[in-house]
Chain A
Amino acid sequence: MASRSARRQPYALTTPALIVIGVLFVFPSVYNVVLAFQKLSPYDTPGDATWVGFDNFKAIFSDPQIGSATLNTAFWLTALTVAIRLVLGLGLALLLQSQVLARWRLRGVGRTLVLVPWMLPPVVAVACWKSIFDANTGVLNQFLVSTHIVSKGVPFLAQTSTAWWSVIAIIVWRELPFVVIVMMAGLQSIPKEQYEAAAIDSAGRWQSFLHITLPNLRPVIVVVVLMTVIQTFNNFVYVWLSTGGGPGTYTQVLATQLYSAAFVANDLGQGAAIGIVMTATMAVFALIYLRVTGDREGRSA
């Protein structure tokens, strides 16, 4: 008796959590697939839905706007911001880890300051930057006008030539601290002996960076890229609240496209289909990425 109840214990303890996960993750995932083959509006009940076969997916692959949203998501929103975050994050981590800052006892201050953007909720981050970018009252435009760099305030988020770069600035600014922290931890884990050995072989700074720092950081970079790509690819808040996908549909991404299709154009089935394409894209990315990076690691080891 005792042993049987002991065997049940772990199930009793995990069941409540598993029910919540099942109801809110597993069931909606399955239902999402069903929805992608239906047509209904947010004001309908699930019973009102009509079956439309592959129409929602056909619409995705024939709609040029979804095509451009996919490109925007892959290039501007994800690839570019992740690349910039990696470069700036590594650079800043190297600066903050440098012996000079430690000698002047400035490391602690630097590490705290670099975390500041991360403490802001994303909506607040967008609000801050919208006020800075404002064409008339924004401090950036006031500075540019008063120094005669431009003659009239630039509507950074409302014109195609600057919209994406402004959104990228917001994303990189808010999400950089995470990359810096992880890079710093990675740098700390590199054995000092390697640098000393390189110094004995009279290797320069650049050489030890190329041949010691980068190879040692490789596993850290692999994890950072995977995590930031998945997070950013599915991000809704930054684009939606800064440009709303505009001007026109110029900065529309898949997450905002999903929202617009489902809740602005009132086509939940279309929204569900876009969601499936997004999930599938990320799954394929994760598989290929882990295969490629895993392979190389195996070879070098």
Chain B
Amino acid sequence: MTADVTSKPAVRDAPKKVVARRDPNRRRARDLLVIVPTFAILLVIVFPVLWMVFTSLRPTTALAARLPWSRYFDGLGFGAYGRLFGNSDFARYIGNSLLVSAVSTCCTVVLASLAAYALSRFVFRLRRTVLMVVLATQLLPFVVLITPIYLSFGELGLLNSYVGLIIVYTAMTLPLAIYLLMGYFDTIPLALDEAARIDGCSNVGVIFRVVFPIALPGIVTVIVTTFIATWEEYFFASVLNTSEDLKTVQVGLSSFFGEYTSDWGVIMAAATVATIPTIVLFSIVQKRLVAGMAAGSVKE
């Protein structure tokens, strides 16, 4: 051990110093060999998003004609957004999506908190079984359940309704929310619960008055991931709610592909609007979300 500590810095530092003394410009040039390709790749990765926003701002005439590159930036404006909200029901689709996503996110967070609290705090006989059920549902491809859910919802009158979609979205996001919240609750010391209980708090009181506020950063992460997942969902929304009045943003956007194939400006305007909530929410929790996800995958 001691021999290692003394010998390592000598070996490690020696070549670096030599390079630095010999030619600092050479190192800078070699750095560019890494930086330039990295940012070239990143440019390719970001380009489609920039192009989406750019296309949404271009006038219709420019989109139809093949313009020389020098005239690409002529006459940018918000015309496509005007056509989007003036000629289609996109505003209504946004309202539908906000309603469905907000309500199902609330349901998921409340139900998941109760279950996650029980799994985190109590040792009970069926704990392992409950945990297994929660994890198994995450491996089951939800998509293949479309036929039985469609038929059952038809029987119950839940097709073409907000309630039906909210129920599906709550169930779809519940297992992951339980799993994430359990991890957050596990980090909160049990002594806090006990103190609150001595002061006469009920179980539900302990969860929402004591544990919830402390776990708030984690809960915000769960709220955001749940909201984004429901906002982005396409398959169930398109199969279960076929009525024009109940279309969500994603289904509405996808219906434009066929309808306005010539007017990419409107489609890209709709795509940009559909992306704003996810980008805003994502940036709020980006650090936490990325760290949590990375930890989850590396740990296992």
Contact = CB atoms under 8 A, between A and B. Distances in A.
The residue in B146, B148, B168, B300 that gathers the most chain A C-beta atoms within 10 A of its C-beta is: B148
Interface of B: 8, 11-12, 31, 34-35, 37-39, 41-42, 45-46, 48-49, 51-52, 55, 63-64, 66, 69, 111-112, 114-115, 117-119, 121-122, 124, 126-127, 130, 133-134, 137, 139-152, 154-155, 167-168, 170-172, 174-175, 178, 203, 231-232, 234-235, 239, 250, 253-254, 256-257, 264, 267-268, 270-271, 274-275, 278-279, 282-283, 286, 290, 293-295, 297-298, 300
* Interface size grouping (class) on chain A: 35 or more
A173 B51 CA distance: 15
Contact of A230 (B139, B171, B286): B139
B141 A186 contact: no
A149 B141 CA distance: 43
B282 A101 contact: no
A129 B48 contact: yes
Interface string A3-24: 0000101110110111011011
Contact of B114 (A14, A24, A117, A219): A14
A212 interface: no
Given A20-B111, A128-B52, A100 B118 contact: no
A1 interface: no
B122 A9 contact: yes
B238 to A, nearest CB: 9
B237 to A, nearest CB: 10
21 contacts: A10-B118, A20-B171, A21-B133, A21-B137, A23-B171, A24-B172, A29-B145, A29-B148, A35-B148, A104-B35, A119-B278, A122-B234, A125-B48, A137-B64, A146-B69, A173-B45, A185-B294, A185-B298, A235-B143, A268-B147, A278-B141
Contacts of A131: 51-52, 55, 264, 267-268
A42 interface: yes
Contacts of B143: 234-236, 255, 258, 275
Contacts of A20: 111, 167, 170-171, 174
Given A104-B35, A110-B39, 15 more contacts: A13-B117, A14-B119, A40-B151, A95-B34, A98-B38, A101-B35, A110-B42, A123-B232, A128-B271, A223-B298, A258-B143, A262-B147, A271-B146, A271-B147, A276-B144
A185 B297 CA distance: 9
Among B203, B232, B297, the most chain A Cβ lie within 10 Å of the Cβ of: B297
Nearest to A184: B294
A227 interface: yes
B234 A123 contact: yes
Contacts of A112: 286
Nearest to A88: B41
Nearest to B30: A100
A80 interface: no
Contact of B274 (A16, A123, A196): A123
A54 interface: no
B146 A29 contact: no
A100 B253 CA distance: 42
A28 B232 contact: no
